[in-house]
Amino acid sequence: MKPKKTFSNWLFNRYFLIIRNEEDFAEKRSVSFTYAKVIVLGFSFLVVVMILSFFLVETLLAQWFDPRHAQMEANRQLIRLTLELDSLESEVQKKDLFIHNFQNIVAGRINNEGADGDTENNNIDELQAKIDEMDYQAIDSQFRKQFETNEVSLLTYNSGERAELQELFLFSPIDGIISQKYNVRNEHYGVDVVAKKNEPVKCVADGTVILASWTQDSGYIIAVQHRGNLISVYKHNDVLLEKVGNFVSAGEIISISGNTGELTDGTHLHFELWYNGNPVNPEEFVTF
């Protein structure tokens, strides 16, 4: 009696496929297989084809045939550019606010809100309007009183920042003799250099003029923003040769020395250096 075939027997029975030449019946190739192997290979091939098709549909074919693909790509780029623009706008606003506040500090125009460092939350135009409405003398005296007790006025830069400043080459703004040295505790945040009248004052490094104005105490004053959050300030000038926004090169003449302002008793240049919002001793970085 012939044994009954089962499904497992049908799957795993071995078969032998011989390929012969039709003319001379010469054997060309022979293959041994089972239906189980054929099913597994066929299923694997189908999975690979499906994965490849899905990949092509999402990439190459989508670019060719899907009308929404171009719009989706444009939307992605628009979102990315919008985020970058927001980031740049925020940085520009912070930079403008820093320059604006520093102009007020150097010029003696500041109120309690600005001294406490909360101006980042205020609109620049509103701050300027408030400053313009206040009496100049009251603002000046108030700022000086607050600046005296402000601990930030003391040197707080670390050794790494100091090394960074030491690497900068700074021109001497003017040739002369230092009559009064840098002394934070005595409210003197720079050095006084005695010079001849109408002596040219040179910029210590490349930068952009952020302040060119007149104040009651310091007379004609000019300040330049340099790279690395470094700002140089030149006070008691007789004439200013640059305007706000002008780019000046290292060694370029930016003003003429003089004797303007109330806090002066002779022709000299009051020179200050500010790094990261703090005053530093100019004699450590400039040879007069």
- The domain boundary, picked from 125, 149, 173, lies at 149
- The domain boundary, picked from 100, 128, 149, lies at 149
pTM (2 d.p.): 0.49
Print the domain residue range for 259: 158-284
pLDDT given for residue 117 in this prediction: 45
pLDDT given for residue 281 in this prediction: 92
Q: Is residue 98 part of a domain?
A: yes
In tens, the pLDDT along 41-71 reads 999 999 999 988 888 777 666 666 566 666 6
Q: Is residue 18 part of a domain?
A: yes
pLDDT given for residue 93 in this prediction: 83
3-state SS string for the chain: CCCCCCHHHHHHCCEEEEEECCCCCCEEEEEEECHHHHHHHHHHHHHHHHHHHHHHHHCHHHHHHCHHHHHHHHHHHHHHHHHHHHHHHHHHHHHHHHHHHHHHHHHCCCCHHHHCCCHHHCCHHHHHHHHHHCCHHHHHHHHHHHHHHCHHHCCCCCHHHHHHHHCCCCCCCCCCEEEECCECCCCECCEEEECCCCCEEECCCCEEEEEEEEECCCEEEEEEEECCCEEEEEEEEEEECCCCCCEECCCCEEEEEECCCCCCCCCEEEEEEEECCEEECHHHCCCC
Counting as low any pLDDT under 70, the low residues of the chain are 1-5, 59-71, 107-167
211 shares its domain with 138: no
pLDDT given for residue 15 in this prediction: 81
Q: Is residue 2 part of a domain?
A: no
> What CATH number is attached to the domain comprising 280?
2.70.70.10
255 shares its domain with 206: yes
